[in-house]
Amino acid sequence: MARIETTFARLKQQGRKALIPYITAGDPLPRITVPLLHALVKAGADIVELGVPFSDPMADGPVIQRATERALVHGVSLRDVLTMVREFRTTDRDTPIVLMGYLNPVEVMGYERFATEAARAGVDGVLLVDLPPEEAGEVTPVLRRHGLDQVFLLAPTSPVERIRRIAGVASGFIYYVSLRGVTGAAHLDIDEVRGRLQAIRGETRLPLGVGFGINDPDTAARMAQLADAVIVGSALVKRMEERVNHPDTIIQDIPAFLASLRAAMDAGTSRSVAGGQR
């Protein structure tokens, strides 16, 4: 069984929800990335999303764009990211890794070569933000042949026909973008998310992850009650940016923050949801 599927099956048995942190590979220094991945797993990450730096990250907010720029200063390429995954895999054989990025670097490497090398490095899933299923006709079969799950986004603006289309091609899990806007934006409407997730569950049996706008333990806990996975990106990357002049504190502080989300999620339903909208 594929690692992502195994992970969700195990969590379901335990009655827990997946916590998926996102970091940009190479931010702020290439040497930080692999130790940080291990530390995040230790702090409670079930799956890790690793961002592949791209010069024009159109769908990301300023926080992740700056992370990308910090990585690109060190020339971190898609090939370097695959090397990091290979290194991570030498001591962690269980935690799934999903690469998240934009199509162009993959296209330049070539779909076949990318899929071969990614699978060999120990990548489990791929999310190409600017590749909707309509344009994925050539990519999807190549990824599938190499046993890589293809994660797709769904948005508040996706009507039921698009939900069906995406449910038909996605594998691993579906990433529901919980708000209009780019990564790191504000104003999360929990009731809207609840309604949308119900609509999506009517069309697919894949696990549903929720991301965009989850920046504190309280929100993570509330989202964990609605979804199968909680994805946290900008909130982590922002904390990394604050420590950019002291990169070695990142290894302690970022996993500590993730652990606070994990604790809140695991406290789950017993926890009061007072405090209202933030």
104 near another protein (CB under 8 A): yes
Nearest to 170 by CA among 133, 197, 142: 133
Pick from 130, 189, 216, 218: which binds another protein (CB under 8 A)?
Answer: 130
- Does 62 contact another protein by CB under 8 A? yes
Among residues 36, 97, 98, 153, the one that binds another protein under rule CB under 8 A: 153
> Which of 106, 228, 219, 124 lies closest to 175 in space, CA to CA?
228
242 is catalytic: no
What whole-number distance in Å separates Cα of residue 32 and Cα of residue 127? 23
Q: Shortest approach of another protein to residue 259 CB, angstroms?
A: 30
Q: Whole-number minimum distance, CB 240 to another protein, in Å?
A: 17
**Look-up of token digits 């209009």:** 180
Q: Which of 44, 57, 211, 213 touches another protein (CB under 8 A)?
A: 57
- 129 binds another protein, rule: CB under 8 A: yes
Query: How would DSSP label each residue in 138-179?
Result: THHHHHHHTT-EE-EEE-TT--HHHHHHHHHH--S-EEEE-S
Of 112, 20, 100, the residue nearest 52 (C-alpha)? 100
Active site residue 192: no
Cis peptide leading into residue 30 (ω within 30°):
no
Sign of the Cα torsion 184, 189, 190, 195 reads negative
CB of 113 to another protein, least distance (A): 13
Q: Which of 36, 205, 25 is nearest to 123 (CA)?
A: 25
> Of the candidates 51, 105, 122, 255, which one interacts with another protein according to CB under 8 A?
105
Only segment of 107-115, 141-149, 201-209, 227-235 that touches another protein (CB under 8 A): 107-115
Positions touching another protein (CB under 8 A) are 53-59, 61-62, 65-66, 69, 72, 77-79, 102-109, 129-132, 134-135, 152-159, 162, 166, 177, 180-182, 185
Q: Which residues are catalytic?
A: 49, 60
